[in-house]
Structure formats: C-alpha cells, structure tokens
Chain A
C-alpha cells in the first residue's frame, strides 16, 4: 500500500509542474507594442491623406491640429462634464439592460412555452438597427433623457438575454448528469450548476450588449439634443454645425478610446475567467 501511495505521489508531482507565467513587464510590453505600431501606421496614413490635399483642411484636419484641439479640450471642465453625462447615460442604460436581460433570459430559458414564443423574437430584436427605434421612442417620450435610455436599453437587452439563454442551453450534458447524481434539483441545480456553467456565455452577451448600448447611445445623443445638457454626441453635432473639423475628430477619438477601454475591461474579465476555469486548456 505504501508503495502505491509513493508511486501516486510521484506521478502527481510529475504531472502537475505548473508552467511559469512571464513577468508583468514582459506581458504588458507584449500587449502594448502591436497597439503602438497600429496607432503609428494609422497616424502616418492620416497625415499622408491630409498632405495629398484630397479635402481642404477645414473639412478634414490633420493629426497636429486635432491633437492640439484635443489637448485644449482636456483643459476644459465642460468637456469632462460632457464625458460624465455620456458615461452616466451609458452606465444607467447598460445596468437597466442587464437587469431586464437577466430576467427575460432566465424566464425564457426556464419556461418552455416562453421559449418557443420568444426565443427567435429575441434574436430578431438583436438585428434591429437601434436608429430604427428613434421615431417611435420620440413619439413615446418626446425629446428627453428617457428617449435615449429607451433606445440604449432596447439595443443592449436582447444580446444580454441571449447570452444567458445560450449559456443555459449549452451547459455540458455530462455536468448536468453529474449534478443529478449529486442530488442537485430545482433552484440548487440552477445556483450550483446551470448559472455558473453559463457564466462565460453570459459574459460574452454582456460584452456584445455593451457594444450595442454604446452605439445606440451615440446615435441617440446626436439625434436628440437636450437643451443645457452637453454630451459627447451633442459635441459631435455642434462640431459639424460649426464646421469645426479638429474638434469633431478629437471628440471621435475620445469616443473611440472609451469604447476600446470598456471592451478591454470585458476582455480582462473574460480572460481571468478562462484562466481560472482552465477553459483554454485540456477539457475537464
């Protein structure tokens, strides 16, 4: 018996030698340099197009003018206020969409008749361009915050619900069988097995939902200008009206950066989950 134990321990030691992870600096640099390279290439092309004289400078400003403008904006409190308003709307809308998506997703994945009735409708809603909701939203809520919120929620909720439904559907059957043998039933089956198993898919739904929310929000802020309420979309709108090309492009860059930053946040969460669960490796 003792030999068995020693043999097992020996095998275990051989089989669980953990690979060393690279140092933080190495990992950051590995992620960073392709980004820097891409930015450099885009800037170069942009500058070349401006130099070619394809469009006059007042319509299509070059990098130098744009970054000067951007730098100026970064000194201006009103600009931060615009960002704050836009982010507040994004977060509120996204949070609401998450709550609604969770409830609908849970109901549809749980209740069979609902499933038949609403499953494909939810997928259909996902393909609906958010701009197409605005006429109805304006009729319902006039030109108000609610109009924007309505469209943001409608843009994001279907993706979030769908993420949860897909996750529940694709709970590995072998885990379900194991759960049954372990005596998991009813809400305990949901809590201990189905919900955690659908987490990766739900996270993917959240990420996609965020992308839709952000797009809908920008459309909303350009279409619906609320007096005395500055926002990133509103700044875009006025930059166009005033033919302020550097300001317009500078604002677009800020929108792009916020979008990328939030996406990176979701990716970080997703990677952390995959590493913890070993999803990229041998199946468990």
Chain B
C-alpha cells in the first residue's frame, strides 16, 4: 500500500517497449520558439501501463504525437524497437461517412475482405458493441464512440497503445466502466499502454506507474509506483490516499509557476 518513487515494481519485464532519450521538442523557431518538452527521458516496460500526468499545456499530447510519429522531435531520440503503435485521442475521431463496422475495418487494411469483416465484428464484440456495427458514429453516445475508437486502435494489432485523455469528456459512471474494460483488454492482450490524463485519480486507478510532468518546459518531475492490487476502484480509500499525495506534488509544481 505504500509507494516510493523510482522503485521498480515486481512483474515488469526489463526490456522497455518505449524508450525516450533526452527528447526535446520546440515549436516555432528562435525567439518565438516554445520549448514544449525539455530533455525528457522515460522508459516504458513491455506490458506496462504508464500514466502521464501534468497540468494543461505541459506537453503530454506533444509527447504522444512524437512517439506516434505524427511529429518530429527537435532533439533526442525515441526507440520503439519496431513495435507497432496505435493512438486514441480525446475525441473519438471516427469517420462520419463510414458505419461503425467500416470504421474498424479501415484499420485492418491489407487483409482479404471477408477476414476484415470478421475481425472487425470480433473487435466490436470485445468492446461490447456487437450489435452496433451498422450504426453511424453520430448515432452512438460519447462513451460508445470511444469504445469504437478503442476497437479501431486494437484493430491495428498494436503492441503499444497511446491514449490521449481518451475518457476526459465522459461522465463518471461511463468512465469507471471503461476503466474496467481497458484494464481487461490491456491484460488479455499484453499491451503496453501510455495513458495521458490530468485526472489524478484516473492515473492512480489505472497505472502501474504515474509519471508527473512539469510545465513549460515539460520535464519529468517525479515517477510514482502504484503498488495497489488490481482491480482497483476509483473511489477506494487506497486510490484516494495515493491520489492525494500525487495531487500535492502536482500543486507544488503548478504553484512554482506563479512565483516568477
């Protein structure tokens, strides 16, 4: 029930799935350049669930974009060892002109038609949306759309799943349910997950480790190991007490910015 920074919990394999070596990212050039990430180094073990936590604008999304290859780092290097990466955004980002089923099929490109159809249907069942394949995204609720987005990400048969505040816009009940779902899928598939949130309890509920980032420039401030047994509940006293510790540290970090 205790936590201590920088201490490897049991069960995590040694070989990292994602390794960031002194990664920096500057937006713009020269005087107007904004240093979003400053020499961030981080290792995420294979099969590990890591939550990235930090105030708004500290570079969490930037970090995921760099790992996903949507943008280029201006310094340092990112090693994935040839692992496949999928990403989920805060918005479901589904294609409105395709049915739910087709949205998932699009990620299965390169396989024969019949196989794609069967696999997509299978994945929709995994996220408990078996009966909704023929619907269009706008006919679903926000939580259901995020589950479709999750199915689509899984369809890419990824090793590493990057999630950028995927449940930020959902109500508490739906979010709790999706936490359970995500945890189940993560365990069943042996995924490596890098999960961005600014909800401290969510981070503690889900993560093997919680990485706290500072703002402007983004740096790793502290890493918390979460040694609580799974499955956890967001409203359990253990989660609450660790979350309180993390929140204090986060507040400390944010208030440093008011000083200068």
Contacts and interface: CB of A to CB of B under 8 A. Distances in A.
Interface of A: 1, 4-5, 7-9, 11-12, 15-16, 18, 174-175, 177-178, 180-183, 188, 192-193, 196-197, 199, 276-279, 281-284
B143 A174 contact: no
Nearest to A278: B138
Contacts of A276: 97, 136
A11 B70 contact: no
B184 interface: yes
A15 to B, nearest CB: 3
Interface pairs A-B: 3 shortest CB-CB = A278-B138, A15-B141, A178-B93
Interface string B60-99: 0000010011100000000000000111010111111100
A183 B156 CA distance: 9
19 contacts: A1-B184, A4-B177, A8-B128, A11-B143, A11-B173, A12-B144, A18-B139, A175-B95, A181-B156, A182-B107, A183-B156, A192-B95, A192-B106, A196-B97, A197-B97, A277-B97, A277-B138, A278-B137, A284-B138
B95 to A, nearest CB: 7
A180 B70 contact: yes
A175 B91 CA distance: 10
A186 B108 CA distance: 17
Given A15-B141, A182-B156, A278-B136, A284 B92 contact: yes
B136 A177 contact: no
Contacts of A277: 96-97, 136, 138
Interface of B: 65, 68-70, 85-87, 89, 91-97, 106-107, 109, 128-129, 132, 135-141, 143-145, 152, 156, 173-174, 177, 180-181, 184
A283 B138 CA distance: 7
Contacts of A18: 139
A236 B139 CA distance: 50
Contacts of B95: 175, 178, 192-193, 196-197
A9 B107 CA distance: 25
Contacts of A177: 65, 70, 89, 93
A284 B146 CA distance: 10
B96 A11 contact: no
B127 to A, nearest CB: 9
A1 B91 CA distance: 26
DSSP majority for the A interface?
A: helix
A175 B89 CA distance: 10
Given A8-B128, A11-B174, A277-B97, A181 B70 contact: yes
Contacts of B91: 174, 283-284
Given A11-B141, A12-B129, 18 more contacts: A4-B181, A8-B128, A11-B173, A12-B132, A12-B144, A15-B140, A16-B140, A175-B95, A178-B89, A178-B93, A181-B70, A196-B97, A197-B95, A277-B96, A278-B137, A278-B138, A279-B96, A284-B94
A4 to B, nearest CB: 5
A272 to B, nearest CB: 12
B110 to A, nearest CB: 9
Contacts of B132: 12, 16
A4 B65 CA distance: 32
Contacts of A196: 95, 97
A274 B177 CA distance: 32
Contacts of B89: 174, 177-178
A242 to B, nearest CB: 53
Contacts of B107: 182
A12 to B, nearest CB: 6
A11 B89 CA distance: 22
Contacts of B92: 284
A199 B181 CA distance: 36
A182 B106 contact: yes
Given A175-B95, A277-B97, A181 B128 contact: no
A35 B209 CA distance: 65
A16 B144 contact: yes
Contacts of B135: 16
Nearest to A172: B93
Contacts of A197: 95, 97
Contacts of B85: 181
B139 A16 contact: yes
B91 to A, nearest CB: 6
B139 A181 contact: no
A277 to B, nearest CB: 4
A284 B70 contact: no
Nearest to A283: B91
A9 B128 contact: yes
A209 to B, nearest CB: 22
Max chain A Cβ within 10 angstroms of own Cβ: one of B65, B95, B144: B95
B143 A278 contact: no
